[in-house]
Amino acid sequence: MAPLLKGELPNKFNPKFSGGLLADLGVYLLYAAIFWFGKPQKVTYDAVILPSGVDLAGVGILDYEDYKVSIKCAGNVNSYLPSEIYTTDGTLILDGVNAITSAKFIAMDGSESTIDIEAPKHSLYDEALDFAHILENKDFTASYELHQFANEVSETSYQMRQSAGIVFDADNK
């Protein structure tokens, strides 16, 4: 953030390099939301737009048939809030959206239960194992499924950027 305050334009905030916070940090939130809930039917993104034309921060809404998912990402503040998933039975509280190390469920009556999480030693361990399996076993089905998943995240991000009026240089090629 400091270079930006000095009037510089780091790649992270440059439309020439497809920058902005939705593309930078927000992608982790989109991967988690789409993995957990599937591709949304409709999306919007209300963003704080920098003079460069990309987002410094924003709130995204992912619309599903019977519920909505909100995501927040920002490059100008730090948040220490947990992730919460609201259900008809209570609230699931996670310490993040990836590399989750703790979780608890608070029922509607206020009772709490801790959910045991066996977190890997490295946050990308499971992904590395999955890729190794695909490569070693030539698992084209799994490879195709990951490709489709990445496409859903990319399409969702693009639709969100469109709703906020964010245009990358690469969009015009």
- 1 pLDDT band (50/70/90 cuts)? low
Q: Domain count of the chain?
A: 1
pLDDT at residue 168 tops 80: yes
Task: Check: pTM over 0.85? Answer yes or no.
Answer: yes
Q: Is residue 68 part of a domain?
A: yes
pLDDT at 82: 93
Q: Is residue 102 part of a domain?
A: no
pLDDT, mean of residues 76-97: 93
Q: Is residue 110 part of a domain?
A: no
Per-residue pLDDT tens over the stretch 97-127: 888 899 999 999 999 999 999 888 888 888 8
In terms of residue numbers, what domain contains 50?
Answer: 2-79+120-163
The C-alpha atoms of residue 21 and residue 160 are separated, in whole angstroms, by 12
Q: Is residue 112 part of a domain?
A: no
Q: Is residue 149 part of a domain?
A: yes
pLDDT at residue 70 tops 90: yes
The C-alpha atoms of residue 94 and residue 105 are separated, in whole angstroms, by 9
Q: Please check whether residue 164 is in contact with residue 23, taking contact to mean a CB–CB distance below 8 angstroms.
A: no
The C-alpha atoms of residue 159 and residue 5 are separated, in whole angstroms, by 29
Q: Is residue 113 part of a domain?
A: no
Per-residue pLDDT tens over the stretch 46-63: 999 999 999 999 999 999
Q: Is residue 150 part of a domain?
A: yes
List Cβ<8 Å contacts ≥24 apart for 130-137. none
Q: Residue 39 phi/psi, 5° resolution? A: -70, 130
CATH number at residue 141: 3.30.360.10
Q: What b/e string do you get for 124-151 counting C-beta neighbours within 10 Å, with b at 16 or more?
A: eeeeeeeeeebeeeeeeeeeeeeeeeee
